[in-house]
Chains A and B, each alone.
Chain A
Amino acid sequence: MATYSTNEFKSGLKFMLDGDPCTIIENEFVKPGKGQAFNRVKIRNLLTGRVLEKTFKSGDSVEAADVLDTEMQYLYNDGEAWHFMHPETFEQVAADESAVGDAAKWLKEQDVCTVTLWNGNPISVMPPNHVVLTIVQTDPGVKGDTASGGGKPATTDTGAVVRVPLFVDEGEQIKVDTRTGEYVGRVKD
């Protein structure tokens, strides 16, 4: 079993804590000159997404987590799971709702996402930073309407609701930043 010593701690390192895979967000080495050394770490539980603060006695070791970020193509949703395929090996995995979470509303068939695998099973899905989506529903924009702040809600083909400028109409394609959920621009065919 692979292990890491606290000396190897750095952000991004993935290890097992209480049976769950975790990743280090921040690592701080703390030591009184003549006293016990500690590693104060901020970690994210990769299953729940929760961020925790823990302190380790320096020199302790932890079990490495077999966690791998893989670029995979989103294929389809069968009503229960989201299916992804490795573009080179054609190997497929099915991610359930807890793994996909909020990413679901950005998933468009054929898009390449980052799928995090733990012992080969998907535990989280990151959509591409930018996606191109089609507007399926939005009210017609009213010229000179300033009360709405120059924007209006629009529903996309993936189910996401995005705030778009008044001039955007149904059937048009828009580019959205998935990290902020914000409209970036119109996409012409």
Chain B
Amino acid sequence: MTADNTSWRPGANLAVMQQRARMLQQLRAFFAQRDVLEVETPILQYHAVTDVHIDTLRVPLEGADGYLHSSPEYPMKRLLAAGSGPIYQVCRVFRADEAGHRHNPEFTMVEWYRPGFDHHRLMQEVDDLVRTLLTDSISPGKTLKLSYRELFDRYLQLDPFSCSVEALQRQARQRHIDIVSDEVMDRDGWLDLLLTHVIEPQLPANRPVFIYDYPASQGALARLQQQDDITVASRFELYLNGLELANGYHELLDPVEQRRRFERDQQQRQQQGRFIPEIDEKLLAALKHGLPDCAGVALGIDRLLMIATGCDDIRDVLSFSMERA
């Protein structure tokens, strides 16, 4: 890290910090009004997620390693299984090796769970919250909802559920996306490439865009649903001004299916020669006890603040980004 003589100064100016404080007040008022309970769960945990695309920061402890959570999802689900009712949490979460204009290894997330909601009802609440938190700055236009299938049809004229990997590669080549890689990418990798490089930049400005019903292979902790000829994961994402803001699920309740997915993650990590986290048995025990039918979502506060303040770089909305930490 370079240490010039101005490096002690914060990256965010006072107005941005005041806006962050206001946003957090409005957020707490929003949930208080809707009787959603604020909770806290450990940032330092004994289990890391198995998710193939999320690397957790390891902390050496006496006797066993700990991990800085990448999301409070598992302990919040244990609270739900214990009968908490609707809950939310605002906390710092950590992701190893994620740094750039839109990423900082440590960031602020609000995550909440709604028993009795499905993902469509939760999308409505996310929309309400985002509009509330942006009241002081911008007023977004009409919300757009597109299924993952509609999204790819609209921007690439192809069906992400049935097209071949070669068709995805052809699209990338036609759009001059030149991927240098020493190993082949799987189908989801190509879909992610087209989503981030081609679709995201074309999403309409100043309108919340919800994308829902993802390929089953991208389901993580979402339940699956049969729809016409395809199986989809009841998962959604929110984009605003091309920025990915939130990810939610109509939550998977089945502990057997959940274990199967964790094991699949572990196998993939093993094939890639990467660290293999152990399965969190406490979460599975809670699912076995019984998680209420619910939907849950996590929303990035720093990115929402980027939109509210018109900053293009996450480092301008953080007091001290990793480079200044």
Contact = CB atoms under 8 A, between A and B. Distances in A.
Interface string A18-56: 000000000111111111111010000000000011111
A179 interface: no
Contacts of A54: 178-180
Main secondary structure of the interface of B (DSSP, over half): loop
Interface residues of B, number: 32
Q: Most B CB atoms within 10 A — which of A34, A53, A59?
A: A34
Contact of A31 (B98, B179, B185, B218): B98
A60 B244 contact: no
A55 B247 contact: no
B275 to A, nearest CB: 12
A31 B189 contact: no
B100 interface: yes
B97 interface: yes
Contacts of B177: 55
Contacts of B260: none
A52 B178 contact: yes
A92 interface: no
Contacts of B185: 36, 57
Given A36-B53, A58-B97, A31 B196 contact: yes
A54 B172 CA distance: 12
Interface in B9-34: none
A53 to B, nearest CB: 7
Given A29-B99, A32-B192, A57-B185, A37 B197 contact: no
B142 interface: no
Given A7-B97, A53-B176, A32 B181 contact: no
B53 to A, nearest CB: 6
B220 A34 contact: yes
A120 to B, nearest CB: 26
B57 interface: no
Contact of A60 (B53, B101, B182, B247): B182
Interface in B162-210: 176-183, 185, 188-189, 191-193, 195-197
Given A32-B195, A35-B218, A38-B196, A56 B98 contact: no
A105 B310 CA distance: 45
Given A56-B180, A60-B180, A60-B182, A34 B97 contact: no
Given A35-B195, A36-B193, A40-B197, A29 B180 contact: no
Contacts of B196: 30-32, 35, 38
Contacts of B195: 32, 35
B322 to A, nearest CB: 12
A125 to B, nearest CB: 28
B180 A37 contact: no
Contacts of A29: 98-103
Nearest to A5: B97
Contact of A36 (B98, B102, B189): B189
B101 A28 contact: yes
Nearest to B235: A34
A53 B179 CA distance: 9
Contacts of B51: 34
A187 interface: no
A184 interface: no
Nearest to B186: A36
A28 B51 CA distance: 23
A141 B48 CA distance: 78
A59 to B, nearest CB: 8
Interface in B30-61: 51, 53-54
A51 B102 CA distance: 24
Interface in B58-110: 97-103
A117 to B, nearest CB: 25
B247 A33 contact: yes
A38 B97 CA distance: 12
Nearest to B218: A34
Contacts of A37: 53, 97-98
B17 to A, nearest CB: 25
Contact of A35 (B97, B103, B192): B192
Contact of B188 (A33, A35, A59): A35
Interface in A95-140: none
Nearest to A40: B197
B195 to A, nearest CB: 6
A56 B181 contact: yes
16 contacts: A7-B97, A29-B100, A31-B53, A33-B244, A34-B220, A35-B53, A35-B192, A36-B188, A36-B192, A37-B97, A38-B192, A57-B183, A57-B185, A57-B189, A58-B97, A60-B182
